[in-house]
Structure 1
Amino acid sequence: MTNTPETPDSPNRLDPDSLDRGTFDAVKQPRSENRLPLGDGVWHQLARSYVWVRLISTGVVIVLVAAAAVVVSLLSRQPWVWIPAGITLGVLVWILAITPRQARAYGYQLRRDDLVFRRGILWQRIVAVPYGRMQLVDIRHGPLDRGFGIAQLKLVTAAASTGVTIPGLTQDAAESLRDTLVDVAETRRTGL
C-alpha cells in the first residue's frame, strides 16, 4: 500500500506539491545491506537551500575560529594555539564536505497513523511520531533561514525520545505541514 500525503484525515489542507517544491529528488540511503529499510510510501525531502544555509553558517564559524587563532597567536606569540585551532578547523572542513550528502539523507513520510522521520548515513535514525501523541508543532527559522525561505518544524510529544525536528523545509511546506498535523492530532488525541 502506497501512503501518499493525502492519508492524514485532512487531505484538503495539505497540498502534496507544496511539500516537494524545491527539494531533493530522493532520500539518500547507505550502501550497506544492513541499513534500515525505508519502507513503502512517499518520502519527502528537505529544501535544496538548506545545504547553502549549513555551508554558510559553517563557513562563518571557520572564519571566526581562524581569526581568533590568528589574534591569539599574534598576541601571545605562541604557536601552540594552532593545535586546537587546526583540529577544530579540520572538523569544520569535514562538516562542510559531508553536508550535501547528509542533507539528502533526511526525509519524512506521512502515514495513516503517524509521521515517520529519517536521517543519517552512518548513524541512522528512524522515528515514528503518532499523530495522537503530538503535543506541540512549532516552526522556527533564524535570519539566514528566512533569507533562503526555509524553516524547521519541531514536533514535541510526551516522550522526549520521540520528539522530532525536521530542518530545512520550505516555508510553505512547514506551514502547510504544521496546519495539517495540528488538525490530524486534534482528531486523534489520546489520553495521557
Structure 2
Amino acid sequence: MTSDAVPADPRSTREPFDPADVTWTPVSRRLVGARLTVTAIVLTPVLALLVLMAVFAGEAWLWVFPALVALLALWIVWLVPRQVNAMAYAERADDLLVRRGIMFRSLVVVPYGRMQYVDVNAGPLARRFGIASVQLHTASPATSASIDGLPPHEAARLRDRMASRGEARLAGL
C-alpha cells in the first residue's frame, strides 16, 4: 500500500516552473491593454456585421451568432489579464529564464553562451502602449524565447545585458 505524501510547502508543487532561488520580473501591465485593443479591433467589425445580418434578416435565431462573439469577447477580457500576470523573466548568472502560461505552463531556460543575437521589436500599437518585445535567438530554435510587454528602456537594457553576457560566455569557449 502506497501513501501519497503531501508536500510541506505548497509552493513545492510549482517547483519546475517557480524555482525557489529565482526572483521573477513581471512584464508590464500595459500588455493587457495592447492585447485587449487587438481583440477589439478584430471582434468589433465581426460583431457589427453579425448584428446587421440579424437585424436585416429578421430571424430571431441569427442573434445566436452575435451573442457567441460577445461571449468570446468577455472570455478574452477575463483571460488576458491572467495570461499577462503569468508572464515573467529572471536573470541568473549563467542563463535567462522565461515563464508563461496558466493552464499550459512553459519555462524556457536560455543559456547566455548559446545566444546568437537579441532583437527588440515594437510595432505601432506596442509603441502607443509604451511596450516592446525582446526576442532571444540561439543555435537551436527550441531554446529561443521572447519576452513581450517590456517597457522600452527595460527592453534596451535587457538586450544590451544579454548581448554582453552572451559574448562573454562565447569568448570562454
Alignment partner, residue 113 of structure 2: 132
Can you give the 5+ residue segments of structure 2 that lack an aligned partner in the other structure?
A: 1-9
1:38 to 7, 14, 18: 18
The separation in 1 between residues aligned to 2:12 and 2:67, in whole angstroms, is 36
Can you give the 5+ residue segments of structure 1 that lack an aligned partner in the other structure?
A: 1-30
Letter matched to residue 38 of structure 1: D
1:151 to 132, 136, 139: 132
The separation in 2 between residues aligned to 1:109 and 1:73, in whole angstroms, is 50
Alignment partner, residue 87 of structure 2: 106
Alignment of 1:13-32 (within 5 A): none
Q: Secondary structure at the match of 2:104?
A: coil
The separation in 1 between residues aligned to 2:109 and 2:116, in whole angstroms, is 15
Q: Secondary structure at the match of 1:188?
A: helix
How far does residue 91 in structure 1 lie from its aligned partner after superposition? 2.9
Q: Percent identity?
A: 38
Alignment partner, residue 185 of structure 1: 166
Letter matched to residue 162 of structure 1: T
Which structure has the bigger radius of gyration? 2
CA shift digits 1:85-113 (9 cap, x unpaired) = 54444333212111112111111010111
Alignment partner, residue 48 of structure 1: 29
Bigger Cα displacement from structure 2, 169-178 vs 83-92 = 83-92
CA shift digits 1:54-85 (9 cap, x unpaired) = 12221222212202323455677777765565
Query: Which of the pair has the greater relative contact order for Cα pairs under 8 Å at 6+ separation?
Result: 1
CA shift digits 1:35-62 (9 cap, x unpaired) = 3441112211111211111122212222
- TM-score w.r.t. length of structure 2: 0.80
Q: CA RMSD in A?
A: 2.6
Closer/same/farther in 2, CA of residues 190 and 127 from structure 1, 3 Å limit:
farther
Letter matched to residue 130 of structure 2: G
Q: Is the 8 A contact 1:65 1:89 kept in 2?
A: no
The separation in 1 between residues aligned to 2:154 and 2:49, in whole angstroms, is 39
Bigger Cα displacement from structure 2, 114-123 vs 67-76 = 67-76
Could you say which structure has the higher helix fraction?
2
Alignment partner, residue 9 of structure 1: none
Equivalent pairs counted in the alignment come to 161
Closer/same/farther in 2, CA of residues 165 and 75 from structure 1, 3 Å limit:
farther
Alignment partner, residue 4 of structure 1: none
Bigger Cα displacement from structure 2, 165-174 vs 38-47 = 38-47
